[in-house]
Structure 1
Amino acid sequence: MSRMAGKVALITGAGNGMGRSHAVRLAEEGADIIALDLPGAAADLAETARLVGEAGRRAAVGAADVRDLAAVQAGVDAGVAELGRLDVVVANAGVCDNPGPAWTIDAPVWQRSLDINLTGVWHTVKAAAPSIGADGGSVVIVSSTAGMKAVAGAAHYSASKHAVIGLMRTLANELGPRSIRVNALLPGAVGTAMTLNPATFARLRPDLADPTAEDVMEVLARNHLLPVPWVESADVSNALLFLVSDEARYITGTELVVDAGLTQKV
């Protein structure tokens, strides 16, 4: 397949989870990858690079916390210098937790969520957009169904994911004249560590002493129109591929939801 032939895509949070899935899927379609993740994630990034290489493409990896604009800028610049161009920006890095009602959230916990999920997205686009060439390109901001539906117990997360949709709409207006499309991708529950972890299991099944993923499947499935507990990273990556490909060349300023019907469940 070659829907991304000759393109270079930047992905933050590319060391694991959806970020790695996005990197591999775009590489399978012909893209070279600039993969950024936290300092200390070198082993994870090396595995992402290995998988990109297995797909026959090149990967330039870099350590950058999206809260650190200078580090993101350095990672972007190094990747573009190594791979020669930039066509696609995927602002994927994010954090999620459920600390409790809004008025009980500690200020540092609140700030961390906004610094990564909102300001980190702005840093990513600020650093990368000037490197997108005259032929234009595509920016995808990974929001969440929490960006269009309230999430009790995670006000900081929901606020940050709502905010990046507003940022996306503004960027679509600002970058459109440069033929750069900007859209948001809104996954629901995805079968990664952000959903499948002991803290989430305990929150969903407080009746059990040590719940597992199998124990929460029925609870999660109740939230969906389709009879599944979560979507897979590959499903989100396929949606991403569509948004950044020429098949979506006139789609900008919109949100694509991949949630098995979570946001429409009544």
Structure 2
Amino acid sequence: MGDLIDTVAVVTGAARGQGRSHAVQLAAEGADIIAIDRCADIDSIPYPLASREDLDETARLVEAQGRRVVPVVADVRDLDALQAAVRSGVEALGEIDIVVANAGVVAIGLKDPIDTQVYRDIVDTNLNGVWHTIAATVPSIIRKGRGGSIILTSSAQGLVGRGGDGSAAMFAYAAAKHGVVGLMRSAANAYAAHSIRVNTVHPSGVATPMILNEHTMRMIAEQPNAPALSANLMPVPVVESEDVTNVVVFLASPKARYITGAALPVDAGHAVM
């Protein structure tokens, strides 16, 4: 028996990569899943984002674990759409216990220092989208009345500024990921009386389509500061989705029942000062 039997988990950015990994392993531990993803590209982001077919595959993999799933297309930048997505999931599966605010984008290699569109799109997704996810899900956790766990995906770039290149894209990414820590600490205080725990995870580069795509790999290879961006202390260039998932599942579980307000690196030492 898994640690999460009779729970409902919301995962954003669930169509592929870390989000899919989190959704499938939470299901393996017994959770039913509300799987949310935009399933469309963003013009300013220079690599393909997930598709509806990707989200359907996540749903298939969750069902293969013997759990129920509600896959919903919604953009975390749109609070109304996200609230509607959560409502549809709650109507089908019941009130929420676990939230994984995982949706995020990056734009490595876009050098323009005043590209306001890419700055806004990154901050809107990686920071405002996390706040929207909290706002859309916490009322359900409170209604359920038995506490819960909220896990926010930040980054090693939410702990250090290594690799900054003066571009709007990198400023936006670092600022948003640092901002997620502020959201976490504020929410941990705000919801502790309801036994809702709130924590962040901080991966360095992860072997997912966010990194393993033609544009990003070419840009990393061409960047003079590429070693700084991938400077893990341990002898690995990237971590795997399952490494982050293991921490997410732990934080979601009763084993972490008194852990809140924590920023946990999963970064092979990237953020060590």
TM-score normalised by L of structure 2: 0.88
Alignment match, 1:24: 24
Q: What letter matches 2:185 in structure 1?
A: R
Q: Structure 1 stretches of 5 or more lacking a match?
A: 208-215
| Structure 2 contact 109–219 (Cα < 8 Å) conserved | no
Q: Does 1:38 align with 2:50?
A: no
Q: Give aligned pairs, total.
A: 254
1:180 paired with 2:196, answer: yes
Tell me the secondary structure at the aligned position of residue 33 of structure 1.
Answer: strand
Which residue pairs with 2:222 in the alignment?
206
SS of 1:189's partner is: coil
Is residue 106 of structure 2 the alignment partner of residue 90 of structure 1? no
Q: Secondary structure of 1:256's partner? A: strand
- How far residue 224 of structure 1 moved from its aligned partner, in angstroms, is 1.7
Query: How far apart, CA to CA, are the structure 2 residues paired with 1:248 and 1:192?
Result: 26
Distance 2:216 2:73 in 1: 28
C-alpha separation in 1, matches of 2:241 and 2:200: 16
Rounded Cα–Cα distance in structure 1 between residues aligned with 2:56 and 2:228: 33
| Aligned residue number for residue 232 of structure 1 | 240
Q: Deviations over 1:88-108 (max 9, x none)?
A: 01110011112556x713111
Evaluate the alpha carbon distance shift between residue 233 and residue 222 of structure 1 in structure 2; reply closer, same or farther with a 3 A threshold.
closer
Identity of aligned residues (%): 49
Q: Residue in 2 aligned with 1:213?
A: none
1:242 is the counterpart of 2:254: no
Q: Which position in structure 1 is the counterpart of 2:149?
A: 138
Task: Check the 8 A contact 1:220/1:230 in 2, yes or no.
Answer: no
1:220, distance to aligned residue in structure 2 (A): 8.4
After TM superposition, list the pairs within 5 Å mapping 1:58-77 onto structure 2: 58-77=68-87
Q: Which amino acid aligns with 2:62?
A: V
TM-superposition CA deviations, 1:190-219 (whole Å, max 9, x none): 001112222332233239xxxxxxxx9xx5
8 Å contact kept, 2:27–2:62: yes
SS of equivalent to 2:119: helix
Do 1:66 and 1:123's aligned partners in 2 also have CA atoms closer than 8 Å?
yes
Question: 1:99 touches 1:105 (CA, 8 Å); kept in 2?
Answer: no
Q: Which amino acid is 1:142 matched to? A: T
Q: Quick one: distance in 1 between partners of 2:97 and 2:153?
A: 17
Does the 8 Å contact 1:23/1:35 carry over to 2? yes
Question: Aligned partners of 2:52, 2:229: CA distance in 1, in Å?
Answer: 35
Q: What is the TM-score of this pair, normalised by structure 1?
A: 0.91
Moved over 6 A (4+): none
Instruction: Please say if residues 33 and 68 of structure 2, whose CA atoms lie closer than 8 Å, have aligned partners that are also in contact.
Output: yes
Q: Which residue of 1 aligns with 2:269?
A: 261
**Conservation of the 8 A alpha-carbon contact between 1:188 and 1:262:** yes
91-100 vs 141-150, which deviates more?
91-100
Give the root-mean-square deviation of aligned CA atoms: 1.8
CA distance in 1, matches of 2:155, 2:206: 10
